[in-house]
Amino acid sequence: MERACPKPVAAGTCLAVCAPERSFPVERFLLAAGGAGANVAAMPATSRRTSVFTESLIREMTRVAQQHGAINLAQGFPDTDPPASLVAAAKAAMDAGRHQYAITWGSPELREALAAKLTRYSGLPVDPQRELVVTCGATEAMMVAMMTVCDPGDRVGLFSPFYENYNADAILTGATPVHVPLQPPGYGFDPAQLRAAFASGLKAFVLCNPSNPTGRVFTREELGQIAALAEEFDTFVITDEVYEHIVFDGRKHVTFVTLPGMAKRTLTCSSLSKTFSITGWRLGYVHAPAEIIAQARKVHDFLTVGAAAPLQHAVVTALGYGPEYYVQLAAEYAAQRDILCGYLDQTGLAYTRPEGAYFVMLDISPFGRASDIEFSHWMAREIGVAPVPGSSFFPEPENRFVRLNFAKRPTTLHAAGERLLRLKRG
Ligand SMILES: Cc1ncc(COP(=O)(O)O)c(C=O)c1O
Q: If you write DSSP's letter for every residue of 276-320 in order, what string do you get?
A: TT-TTT--EEEE--HHHHHHHHHHHHHHHS-S-HHHHHHHHHHHT
Q: Specify whether 197 is located in the same domain as 243.
A: yes
Could you say which of 294, 320, 346 is where a domain stops? 320
Whether 138 lines ligand 1, by a CB cut-off of 6 Å, is yes
Nearest protein Cα to ligand 1, atom 13: 76
Q: What is the pLDDT of residue 227?
A: 98
Cβ–Cβ contacts within 10 Å for residue 135, how many? 30
Q: What is the pLDDT of residue 291?
A: 98
Q: What is the pLDDT of residue 55?
A: 76
Q: Specify whether 291 is located in the same domain as 209.
A: yes
Q: What is the sign, positive or negative, of the torsion defined by CA atoms of 7, 195, 270, 322?
A: positive
Q: Specify whether 303 is located in the same domain as 198.
A: yes
Whether 210 lines ligand 1, by a CB cut-off of 6 Å, is no
Q: Specify whether 205 is located in the same domain as 238.
A: yes
CA distance linking residue 282 with residue 260, whole number of Å: 31
Q: Specify whether 181 is located in the same domain as 219.
A: yes
Q: What is the pLDDT of residue 231?
A: 98
Q: Mutation test of ligand 1: which of 57, 72, 139, 278 has the most ligand atoms closer than 8 Å to its C-beta?
A: 139
Q: Are 202 and 21 in contact (CB under 8 A)?
A: no
Whether 284 lines ligand 1, by a CB cut-off of 6 Å, is yes
Q: What is the pLDDT of residue 22?
A: 34
Q: Specify whether 271 is located in the same domain as 310.
A: yes
Q: What is the pLDDT of residue 5?
A: 32
Distances (CA, A) of 336 to 307, 375, 379: 31, 25, 21
Q: Specify whether 24 is located in the same domain as 74.
A: no
CA distance linking residue 137 with residue 359, whole number of Å: 19
Whether 76 lines ligand 1, by a CB cut-off of 6 Å, is yes
Q: Specify whether 135 is located in the same domain as 266.
A: yes
Q: Specify whether 75 is located in the same domain as 109.
A: no
Distance 254 CA to ligand 1 centre (A): 18
* Nearest by Cα to 400 from 194, 213, 222, 179: 213
Whether 273 lines ligand 1, by a CB cut-off of 6 Å, is yes
Per-residue exposure over 81-99, b if at least 16 CB sit within 10 Å of its own CB, e if not: ebbeebeebbeebeeeebe
- The CATH number covering residue 339 comes to 3.90.1150.10
Q: What is the pLDDT of residue 350?
A: 97
Could you say which of 320, 337, 357 is where a domain stops? 320
Q: What is the pLDDT of residue 286?
A: 98
Whether 148 lines ligand 1, by a CB cut-off of 6 Å, is no
Q: What is the pLDDT of residue 426?
A: 58
Distance 366 CA to ligand 1 centre (A): 31
Q: Specify whether 356 is located in the same domain as 288.
A: no
pLDDT tens per residue across span 158-188: 999 999 899 999 999 999 999 999 999 999 9
Enclosing domain of residue 32: 1-52
Number of folded domains that form the chain: 3
Which residues of the chain carry a pLDDT beneath 70? 1-41, 426
Q: Specify whether 42 is located in the same domain as 63.
A: no
Q: Specify whether 260 is located in the same domain as 374.
A: no
* Residue 152: alpha-carbon gap to chain centroid: 22
Distance 212 CA to ligand 1 centre (A): 9
Distance 364 CA to ligand 1 centre (A): 25
Cβ–Cβ contacts within 10 Å for residue 195, how many? 16
**Which residues, other chains included, contact 219 with Cβ-Cβ below 8 Å and sequence gap of 6+?**
none
Q: What is the pLDDT of residue 75?
A: 84
Give SS3 for 49: helix
Q: What is the pLDDT of residue 378?
A: 97
Distance 284 CA to ligand 1 centre (A): 9
Could you say which of 301, 320, 339 is where a domain stops? 320
pTM of the model: 0.90
CA distance linking residue 186 with residue 216, whole number of Å: 8
pLDDT tens per residue across span 248-264: 999 999 999 999 999 99
Backbone angles phi, psi at 421, to 5 degrees: -60, -20
Distance 201 CA to ligand 1 centre (A): 27
Give SS3 for 384: coil
